[in-house]
């Protein structure tokens, strides 16, 4: 599927991996609906539309999807899919240093944002995606992409809730692709490893050096453009379906740094 003259939804599109994905899709000639809590004022133009969205609010998500579908009809750039980049990184041990158990509120919040938010947005997009005109010899209609994490496979100490949400997304990709196969809609997940982020920027030099020693090649953190390149490849390569692609530079992180 070619991104040009298609409309894609990118949740969490105002910053980080989502922002890089938005820019890559715009460069490819797509229109992009950005769903986020804060608007990035640098994203301007006729092919970008912002929807203020709390990903945990069903009302917000429904309004954003319906608004995007209407926008796509107006512009003629038919719906192409959704890239789910909205997410949070939580950190808490099951028992803290004072003997207190993991906060249930924190667990529920991680599930609400990373897992339920992704599922809800995807299911609502599907309602429209299955009805767009099929494209090409394969009769493809669109794609759904999950942002998972290497924590789905080797979560570190303190990542119980986070790893659980990302592991669930990995597990959901294949059965969802099977659900949607008869409609010509593909589903894939991307599992980034150690990527440059606001969190890595705050690391001490000791922690940063310890983490870098564990990396394979390239010996550096991944960058957001490499994530967006993978999104673009998934959109354009029709035979990539039901897969989770690890984007890790050959690294497998230890349980504790």
d(CA 226, CA 17): 9
N-to-C CA span, the chain: 41
Q: What is the number of alpha carbons within 13 Å of residue 252 lying toward its C-beta?
A: 2
User: What pLDDT does 255 receive?
Assistant: 67
Residue of 8, 51, 162, 221 with catalytic role: 162
| Range of lowest pLDDT (36-40, 60-64, 92-96, 156-160) | 156-160
User: What pLDDT does 197 receive?
Assistant: 75
The whole-number average pLDDT for the span 149-171 is 93
pLDDT grade for 92, boundaries at 50, 70 and 90? very high
pLDDT > 60? residue 165: yes
d(CA 187, CA 173): 6
User: What pLDDT does 24 receive?
Assistant: 98
pLDDT tens-digit series, residues 181-196:
999 999 999 999 888 8
The whole-number average pLDDT for the span 17-29 is 97
- Sequence ranges of the domains in the chain: 6-247
Active site residue 162: yes
This prediction's pTM:
0.94
d(CA 165, CA 27): 31
Domain 6-247 class, CATH top level = alpha beta
């Amino acid at each position: 599927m070619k991104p040009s003259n298609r409309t894609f939804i990118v949740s969490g599109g105002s910053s980080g991996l989502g922002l890089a994905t938005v820019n890559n899709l715009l460069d490819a000639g797509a229109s992009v609906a950005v769903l986020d809590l804060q608007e990035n004022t640098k994203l301007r133009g006729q092919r970008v539309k912002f929807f203020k969205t709390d990903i945990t609010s069903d009302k917000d998500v429904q309004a954003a999807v319906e608004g995007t579908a209407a926008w796509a009809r107006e512009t003629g750039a038919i719906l192409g899919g959704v890239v789910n980049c909205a997410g949070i990184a939580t950190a808490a041990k099951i028992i803290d240093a004072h003997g207190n158990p993991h906060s249930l509120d924190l667990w529920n919040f991680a599930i609400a944002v990373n897992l339920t938010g992704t599922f809800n947005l995807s299911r609502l997009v599907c309602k429209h995606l299955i009805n767009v005109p099929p494209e090409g010899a394969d009769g493809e209609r669109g794609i759904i992409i999950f942002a998972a994490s290497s924590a789905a496979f080797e979560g570190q100490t303190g990542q119980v809730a986070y790893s659980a949400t990302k592991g669930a997304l990995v597990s959901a990709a294949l059965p969802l692709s099977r659900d949607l196969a008869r409609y010509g809609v593909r589903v894939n997940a991307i599992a980034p490893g150690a990527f440059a982020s606001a969190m890595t920027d705050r690391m001490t030099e000791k922690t940063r050096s310890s983490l870098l020693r564990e990396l394979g090649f390239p010996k550096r953190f991944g960058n957001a453009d490499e994530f967006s390149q993978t999104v673009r490849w998934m959109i354009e390569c029709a035979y990539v379906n039901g897969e989770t692609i690890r984007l890790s530079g050959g690294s497998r992180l230890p349980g504790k740094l």
